[in-house]
Every structure is written in structure tokens, then in C-alpha cells.
Amino acid sequence: MDAFYASVEQASKPSLRGKAVVVGGLGPRGVVATASYEARVHGVHSAMPMAQARRLAPNAAYLVPRFQLYRAVSEQVMGLLRALSPLVEPLSLDEAFVDLEAGGAAWDAESARLTGARLRADIRAVTGLTGSVGLAASKMLAKIASEDAKPDGLVLIEPGTERDLLAPKSVRILPGVGPATGDHLRRAGMTTVGELAEAGEDELVRLLGKAHGHALYAMALAHDERPVVAEREAKSVSVEDTYDVDIHDRTRVGLEVRRLAGRCVRRLREAGLSGRTIVLKVRRYDFSTLTRSETLRGPTDDPAVVAEAAARLLEAVDTTGGVRLLGVGVTGLADYTQEDLFAQAAGERAGAEEPPQPPAPAEEADRRGAAEPDHPPAERRWPSGHDVRHAVYGHGWVQGSGLGRVTVRFETPLSTRPGRVRTFRTDDPELEPADPLPLVERRPSAAAGPVDAVGPAGAG
């Protein structure tokens, strides 16, 4: 998918279409998750500190992610892919490998090209968004082709042309070649894939070691035998928050850990999973990161069990000097639970009170760069870009808030022109958070082709 988060935001907000949009954490330590192509013209890119992005593109719209909506749209796209083949390997919300031959959707270059063209049309019909398709004989080459196809394109690498296509490209396009390896190869006089192939396997093994050198030489020759693996199982479920200001109060740290444990369990339950090992992550004021874990007798999805285990792990961590990031995760996943684990979590404390349940979750997206304290409850927060509904004016989204005021633009994805802007008190009783609206108009399934049969009803 092309600039996925930003494209979803543009599709849902008519006033932002064709304009620079940056999605990410808006706090002082926030980073860019996705930038629209209009923002990329100014040099903004993913993983860039948000403060730098604001300097480069001061007039862009800066929005907090809405993962609820992104997941729903992603599932619609993944549904289209699964209709093509049983072998779909998601890499993230916006990217996946598909084995077209396994599903009978393609058997040669021309049938693959036709399938890719239909897929792009179906994606646009179902989501209103654009996707780029790379077609090739291997995962590595398909990934490279998809990057060459962006935005909103299709590139097919014809069989037999692979080595000629790769030869002039930078070594950085190959999987596993990051900045450090790239610099190492550059110092050895190799900056293109063709130069890697000419150097030979022995030289690459000498420079990089046996495993890495052998793999890199094979890729330089366009060899990639990795199969498409359907629905790789999740190895862990975790959540974490980075805080605008380091937390020094030990009690506050403990409350944050309990809240994170509650969010983690909610994600576990949404996935129908449980887990045996509880993991606590603490990044301190000096950027040192500590990880502690505890393995239970059996898998659980009980929030009390996970919260108690995380609290015990915290007891062994020195937070003197302040904490800038906290995370709670669960590994050793299973699709069942062991119901008697609360006794283990409670330990030997006979008659101890059950820990309070964490508060209802804020949207996960609002946790990047600015975490919400559990106590005391402050005035209602209105994350930029998130959906609201007013009793009089209807559906809209937050353009900004501060000083006790929130500014809302009232428009929907189906609006034909930008909506009106109004400002309210943050505690206005007629203004409430709302769920995202579908990006495209729902059509009756009986009148639609196969594209309407994909995606959960009401998703998006």
C-alpha cells in the first residue's frame, strides 16, 4: 500500500486530499510513522523525529495514528489477497507476499500481470486507496519490484532479466544490508549488486563471515529460495509507551506498568491468545534498556495475573534517575488458558486485595510520544486527527486542541468538499469521541462482484 497511514487519513478527510500529511507521535519524542508523498517532497520520511519533520514541512497536517481504522482497512486488503491464494504472508499492516501460482491465479508472466492489474483495481474499489504491485519469481525480487512500482504502479520482472536488473542497483536494496554492512562493502569497493557478484563468494565470506557472505552472494545472483509462508504465527504480544517527560515517581511507574499490562491483555484476548511468559521492558533516563521476564506455570489471559507478574518484575528494576519508556509483553503464546493461575499471581498473600482493573483503553495510536497518566483524570484529550461526533453538527475530526478548546472540522470520507470548522470547549457535553467511518460507500453485496465479498461487515 502507498504511504498507507497517510493515505488512509487523506481518504477519510476531504480537506487533506492532495496536501502534506504526517502521521506519528506528536509529543516531543514522537517520530514519523508515515508521511504522504506531498510531505516527502519536503524531505519528511518515516522514523524521522517529529520535531525535524515540523521544521521541514511546517504547513503539513500532523495527526495521531488511528490504528483501529488502519487494521480494518488492512484486513480488507488481506482478504483480497487471500482470495487469490492460500499462501499469503503479511509483513505488516500494509505489505504482504502472495504466491500466485499456489492459488492458480497466475502461471506465467502475462497471467501474473493481469492478476496484478485486477488486484490494484479491486483494492481501489474496496478501500478507495492505491497499492503498488511487484511481480517476480522470488520474494526478494517481488519486494524490489514493488518498491520500483511506487506509487500506484505495477512492475513485473521478466524471467531471465533478473541479474541485469539487479546489477546497477545499490547493495542497500538487498535484504540484510543495512547502513553498517553497506559502509563495510563500500570501503571494500562494492557499492552495486553487480560488483558483489563480480567479487565472488569467497571474498564476501572473507569480508562478512560464512553465513552472511554466502547469503549475500546468492542474492547478488538473484537467487532467493525462500517460500511464501502463510500467516506466520505471532511470537509475542506487547505494548509500550514513550513518555514526554521522564517519570521519576516510583508509584507512578508502577501504575503505568499495570495500565500497560491491561492493554497487553486486551490485545491478547482480541487475538484469541494467551501466554506463559511475562516480559517487562524499562528504558531509563540514560537510554539504557533493561528487560526482565517471568514464566508462569501455564498460559493465561487474566489481566490480574499479568499485572501482578509485571509488578514483581518491576521490583527488581532500579528506576532511580527517571524512566522514559515502559513496555509489557507476553510470549510463549497459546490458544488456550489455564484458569488457576491467579493463585500463582497472588503468591502467598492470603486475603490480599485483587489488583484494580486497568482503566478503559485509549486508542493505541495515541500512546506514541505522549502517554496518558492514570491519575488524576485530566480534562478529556482530543488527539489530532481522531474522530468525534457533535450532537448538532454530526461527524468530524479534531484539527487541534489546547488551552481548554478543541477545533473540529466537520466532514466525512464521502463529503464532496472540505467541511466547516468550529471550536468548542474541551468539556462540551455535546462533543464525544467517535468511531472511524468507512472510506468508501458500502454497496449491496448482491449487486457487487467478488471484490465486495471481502472484508468484515462494517469494517473501516
The full DSSP string for 351-376 is TPPPPPPPPPPPPGGGGSS-PPPSSS
Q: Which residues, 6 or more positions from 29, have their beta carbon under 8 angstroms from its beta carbon?
A: 49, 242, 243, 244, 324, 369
Among residues 276, 334, 271, the alpha carbon closest in space to that of 309 is found at 276
> Which amino acid is present at 111?
S
> Which amino acid is present at 243?
Y
Helix (H, G, I), strand (E, B) or coil at 253: helix
| β-strand pairing of 21-24 with 61-63 | parallel
Residues forming a β-bridge with 192: 170
Among residues 38, 42, 44, 41, the alpha carbon closest in space to that of 24 is found at 44
Please indicate whether residue 95 is annotated as part of the active site. yes
**Active-site annotation holder among 9, 38, 89, 95:** 95
Question: What letter would DSSP give residue 381?
Answer: P
**According to DSSP H, which parts of 335-448 are helical?**
342-346
Helix (H, G, I), strand (E, B) or coil at 396: strand
Could you tell me how many residues make up the chain?
A: 460
- Nine-digit cell at 78? 488481506
- Strands (DSSP E) contained in 312-386 are 323-334
Residues annotated as catalytic (active site), given as ranges: 95
